[in-house]
Structure 1
Amino acid sequence: MTPRRTPLLLVFSAVLALPGMAAAAPIDCTLARSDVEQAICAHQDLLAKDRAISQRLATLGQQCPANKALLAQGQTFWLRERWDCRNGEGALGPSGKLAACLGERMDKRLHDLGAVRQGCDFSSLAGTYRFVDPGYLRQFSRAYVGKPVAVFGWMDLGACHDRTGPRTVAELVGQPGKTRFPVRFSSMPDQEKDFLCAQQPAGHWQGVVKDDGQGAYLYLTDILGQKLAP
């Protein structure tokens, strides 16, 4: 692996900063600054979907006050998914791909919110978010087995502390309370190990959730987008 600097926090900072149910507020087009918000404001159908999502969230929040925090957390995760549309090939060009991606993901969000059962049963939403945190993944790990996810956290490789332990075992550390979720790498050559031990990088780690019968873990074949050598 080519030596590199510690990755910057690979997060959507504007999204992560949203407090509570403020994340559920509809877009104010007079304040739209990001490519995503401007694309939504430029298309009446997307703007209508944004308002429908906000209305549905407001209704669920009123009906299910005990689950308001969980609902707000899920909306923050989904906003990361919405923001990710700008990372698609050609998304920021004149092709209209950004708007198309936003429309698809907003349609799915409306469908998922509409699937919430009566009696404030939010179990149908577990496993629908691709960008999550270690604490949420630990809480709903069963719903994620076999699914690809992008989990934000700081990587703590066990071999950095115990040289006799397995080199491919780690934990992803998140906030609050430094919640940890087990990780296994497909391999761990010396240079990758040295990088992780020296930097303990933070970012969105993309992998698949697996369960070997002893518990769920995140299986990774790359380090922040760089493939691991066999």
Structure 2
Amino acid sequence: MNCSQARSASEKAICADADLVRLDADLAAAYAALGRAKPDTRDALRQSQRDWLARRNACAADAACLRWQYELRLDALQGQLRRAQAYRPDGTDLQALEDFRRAVEAAASQDAAFPLETALKALSASGGTTSFSNVRDKEDDIEAHFPTARPTGVSEDEWRALLASDVDSGGENGVASYTLIDLDGDGLRDLAIDSYVGGTGLFSEISTLRRIGARFGAPSGQSAEANRADAPSGATLYSLNDRGANQAGEWIRLRGRVYAAYRSSRYGMDSVYLLHPLAEVGDAPTLTVRYRYDLSVPRQQKNETTGAVRALDEALHAALTRALAQIDPERVATPGEPAKPLCPMPANTKEDERSQYYSFGPGHYAYETVADVAVQLRSGCAIARLADWFGGYSAKDGLYAQLWVRGTADDARTDTYNVHGVRRAVRYGTAVGPVATGDDAQGAQ
């Protein structure tokens, strides 16, 4: 905005506020970049900007209102810009996806429980890589920082480029790790950064920088946001442990290209997205592996805290087994309250107590609710919840899941029973679409 020509109340208020002047400049830059990225939509973009200016000017001199309008518009424009600049899968990517599907299907004939892991290991592009992490000066230091000495495996040329690029991307307490890997096949190793963010999900963000001359920098195809001076790590490629979910990422090679194979898992399903590591993330080739579980309640139940073991009596074991039989062995139940109570509800039940007959209770982001079902015990009807940790599975323990059982009274205690699940891959699907993570992945079920 040319403040020397400010005339309206809103323009004068903007020019009197440094934050609003900055927002105006950021918005102008995003608007211009979007116009360049999508020239065929400039007329519609221009009209939407006129409509927004009318809403902005309606704020008059109200600085809070102006700030809100600018933030809304800037968020919308930057979102459109990211989508416009995002990588679009080509024919080679689709062929790579088909190769990947065939590799996983072939692996399933040898190991139906771990076909994805087997295929990813065979396709690994980790050869020729070097990894190192931020360090602490003293063992009891809280904060870590970028190494001051060249790590083993890093060449002198790479070390100079790293120091020239200000790539220290430590998140909470400075925790970060770095991997040098040739991602674009030009013979020079690029940089992948794993920065621990922390927060309630205890998650990390993985980003990449291309080796460009004597420095590492955000690829030109990434958004302006990735190239800001205060964002040396570039745009985020994917995140791990988002909302407590079961996620992982590995570098694989298909059709001569290196991909970040990003896996986001749920009960009964692994979704693997083939991401171009040096491009803005958009729609991605996706392989979905679906599993079927054989679920059972072990007769011998071990307390995870005390280590004590107890044997379930025959009647209780039979009741829990019947409850498990009601649960879909492949899919999470559709979220929402059932049409009728799981257990019979007395006629005189108070309104604020009715919900406890319909479900086990509220969920939590740290675990996945597979299903709520009724259990018929000697003492009467109880409500059980099968909970797992987003399809977490191991060769030793199988599916890590528990059945939580409580009575319908307000003060009813909850009993916990370990559930054993053995899986086998049963179906495979391919598609091209947006990357779903955390809570978003629930809709893919």
> With structure 1 as the length reference, what TM-score do the two structures score?
0.35
Structure with more contact order per residue of length (Cα contacts < 8 Å, sep ≥ 6): 1
Higher fraction of helix: 1
Structure (1 or 2) with the greater strand fraction: 2
